[in-house]
């Protein structure tokens, strides 16, 4: 019962499309992710602040079902501000109900979602751009740029 979130590249830089991959080491075939904390000024922080809930669900736009996705699928997350993003993840086994329903779109025909274990807290760190002016006007100056 462990979800791992990885970025590509490993040391992610702020972008509107940071590739994230969620992997599991259980029999889960479905995941849900919620963002619970994000840096000030980020789009996710604004969504959390506007929401009446303390978290916002994250799902790739091409998710097979609303709100969730399959483990191992790479999706682009909007992590455009440097800092630490905190997520909560839950693993599920997505399957078909025992009874298939007696008509089209019958509630008994909906796929079941069986949670595996409990929710887990996950963090993703995105590099923060920092610049510093070096030198003096008599000999010349340069900008020193690092991502921390």
Predicted confidence (pLDDT) per residue in 11-36, tens digit: 899 988 899 888 888 888 888 899 99
Q: Average of pLDDT values for 105-124?
A: 81
Question: Is 95 within 8 Å of 112 (Cβ atoms)?
Answer: yes
Task: Give pLDDT tens digits for 59-92.
Answer: 766 555 556 777 888 888 889 999 999 999 988 8
Coil, strand or helix: which one is 20?
A: strand
- Distance, CA of 117 to CA of 112 (rounded, Å): 16
Q: How far apart are CA 57 and CA 50, in angstroms?
A: 13
Cα–chain center distance at 99? 34
Q: In terms of pLDDT, which residue wins out, 64 or 3?
A: 3
pLDDT beyond 90 at 49: yes
- The whole-number pLDDT of residue 110 equals 67
Split at pLDDT 50, 70, 90, the class of 1 is low
pLDDT of residue 60: 67
Domain span at residue 16 reads: 3-147
Domain count, the chain: 1
pTM of the predicted model, to two decimals? 0.80
Contacts of residues 112-116 at CB distance under 8 Å and 24 or more positions apart, as own/partner, are 113/30, 113/68, 115/90, 115/91, 116/1, 116/26, 116/27, 116/28, 116/91, 116/92
């Amino acid at each position: 019962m462990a979800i791992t979130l990885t970025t590509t590249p490993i040391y992610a830089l702020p972008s509107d499309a940071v590739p994230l991959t969620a992997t599991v080491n259980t029999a889960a075939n479905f995941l849900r992710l919620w963002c619970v904390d994000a840096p000030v000024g980020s789009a996710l922080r604004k969504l959390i602040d506007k929401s009446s809930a303390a978290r916002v669900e994250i799902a790739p736009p091409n998710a097979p079902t609303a709100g969730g996705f399959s483990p191992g699928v790479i999706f682009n997350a909007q992590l455009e501000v440097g800092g630490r993003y905190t997520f909560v993840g839950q693993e599920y086994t997505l399957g078909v109900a025992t009874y298939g329903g007696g008509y089209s779109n019958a509630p008994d025909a909906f796929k079941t979602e069986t949670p595996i274990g409990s929710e887990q807290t996950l963090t993703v760190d995105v590099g923060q751009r920092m610049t510093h002016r070096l030198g003096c006007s008599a000999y010349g100056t340069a900008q020193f740029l690092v991502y921390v």
